[in-house]
Structure 1
Amino acid sequence: MSLQNIARLLLLAAIWGASFLFIRIAVPALGPAFLMNGRVLFAALFLLLVALLLKKRLLLAEHWQHYLKLGFINSALPFLLFAYAAGVLTASLLSVLNATAPIWGAVIGILFYRQPLSAKVLLGLTLGVSGVAILVGFDPVLLQPGALWAVAAAASAACCYGIATHYTRRAKAVEPFANAHGSMWGALCCLLPVTVLFPVQQAITPGVAAAVLALGVVCTGVAYLLYFKLVQEVGATSTLTVTFLIPVFGVLWGWLFLNEQVGWHTLAGSLTVLTGTALVTGFNPGSSIQKWFRQRRV
């Protein structure tokens, strides 16, 4: 992996880690549905501009049902669940729960697609569950009203990403950029009717407006472009490294900008979850580093 792609990977992790920061800033004023409508709308408009510049077509007549399904399970529902959870949980906790998505994907594969359960995967699943238990069980936020529902919502959001992974593997092949662009419009169609259930709660300040814009354009639109560029340059397996970096930045941004406390349980739980995720996905940092050095010698 070149230094340029390493920089892209770190930037992508920093951006996606910051998404939980922006959600925490904006959700008290806008509510979950209105906030996520703004996020996918700005993302869709940004990607539409990119599509016009690059002359990329969506082929809506052929793929509209696919965009609607993908938009619902990969964006609308998890975005809404994370926004609901952000009303109680910290950005740090949200970012770590987000990292359990590959673990959920493994569970779904085992239960519904008869994928083999090896000892390594079983250990990874056990560590993942244990890490979440450490994170949640020792966090003072659990004492707040509605905390358990918020944890369930965030875990369900991560589960949605696991479901989406299996769906995209089995769905009709669609060009990656079209998937990102089309799914944003599909997500918007799913989210618009829900807006009436979660009205705006406070006046929209410039800070809140900036957070929504950053969520849509940077954390969704620009992040997708970075992601697909990395997949094209280094492959999907190497790009998976971003899963392990997002919680690092999520915890960092929460500590820096929201004064969130980082206790021993945050570090221990995060490390346990990420170790479990690495085992489930088969990610081996040692082999990745060796591969990088071999590429540098060539």
Structure 2
Amino acid sequence: MEILLLIVAAATWALMSVLVKKLSGNYSTLQITIMSAFVAIICLTPIVIVRRQVLMRIDFTSPLIISCLFCIGVVSTALAFIMWNKGLQLTSASISGLFYVIQPIVGTLLGWLLLQEQLTWGFLLGTVLIIGSVWLVTRFDV
């Protein structure tokens, strides 16, 4: 089931990248990001309504919860999407998709830097394979 969900996530991310590229000629990066947020709100609201019991247990007045929501909402989501959408305006969707596969490397390095997580030989091997594949595609236009 997890693999199916990962495939669906990759397909919808690719679809979003193509749609953002098509819209970038008519709308600004911020407008596209706001439209994306509204679509997400519409799609996720039914799930939130069904799972509202979970939300009722959270103290949204806690400074820790407020700061976490701010960091996730503004820095990790809004700012990242604005930068991604701007990148899509400046390059083709096929090239920008290559940068998507670099996210695990960045995430692991941030975990090592900020959370003192251990780097393994598997990470090194995966990094070499990912960077090698990106290099091959950009170098030889595979």
Q: TM-score when scaled to structure 2?
A: 0.64
**Which of 70, 93, 96 is the matching residue for 1:239?**
96
Q: How does 1:110-259 map to 2 (within 5 A)?
A: 153=2, 155-165=3-13, 175=23, 177=32, 179-193=35-49, 194-197=51-54, 200=57, 206-259=63-116
User: In 2, are the aligned partners of 1:180 and 1:224 still within 8 Å (CA)?
Assistant: no
Corresponding position of 1:286: 139
Which stretches of structure 1, 4 residues or more, deviate above 3 A after TM superposition? Answer: 165-171, 197-208, 269-272
The SS at the match of 2:117 is coil
The 1:285–1:208 alpha-carbon spacing in structure 2 relative to 1, beyond 3 Å, is farther
Tell me the CA shift for residue 285 of structure 1: 3.4
The alignment-based identity, stated in percent, is 18
Structure 1 196/248 Cα, relative in aligned 2: closer, same or farther at 3 Å?
A: same
Deviation at 1:254, TM superposition (A): 0.8
Q: Is 1:261 aligned to residue 118 of structure 2?
A: yes
Separation in structure 2 between the aligned mates of residue 241 and residue 217 of structure 1, nearest angstrom: 24
Give, in whole Å, the separation in 2 of the partners of 1:157 and 1:232.
28
Following superposition, the deviation at residue 156 of structure 1 comes to 4.9
Q: TM-score, normalised to structure 1's length? A: 0.35
Is the 1:255–1:261 contact (alpha carbons within 8 Å) kept by the matching residues of 2? yes
Deviations 1:89-111 (A, max 9, x none): xxxxxxxxxxxxxxxxxxxxxxx
- Tell me the CA shift for residue 275 of structure 1: 6.5
Taking the aligned partners of 2:46 and 2:115, their CA distance within structure 1 comes to 31
Equivalent residue pairs, number? 130
Deviations along 1:52-108, whole A, 9 cap, x unmatched? xxxxxxxxxxxxxxxxxxxxxxxxxxxxxxxxxxxxxxxxxxxxxxxxxxxxxxxxx
Partner Cα separation in structure 1 for residue 110 and residue 136 of structure 2: 25
Mapped partners of 1:246, 1:284: distance in 2: 17
Letter in 2 for 1:180: S
User: Larger RCO: Structure 1 or Structure 2 (Cα < 8 Å, ≥ 6 residues apart)?
Assistant: 1
User: How far apart, in 2, do the equivalents of 1:246 and 1:169 lie?
Assistant: 15
> Letter of the aligned partner of 1:236 in structure 2?
A
Where 1:241 maps in the other structure, the secondary structure is helix
Partner of 2:101: helix, strand, or coil? helix
Aligned amino acid, residue 231 of structure 1: L
Q: How does 1:38-117 map to 2 (within 5 A)?
A: none
Aligned to 1:25: none
**Distance (Å, rounded) in 1 between the aligned partners of 2:42 and 2:89:** 24
- Please give the root-mean-square deviation of Cα atoms over the aligned residues, in Å: 3.8
Q: Which letter maps to 1:158? A: L
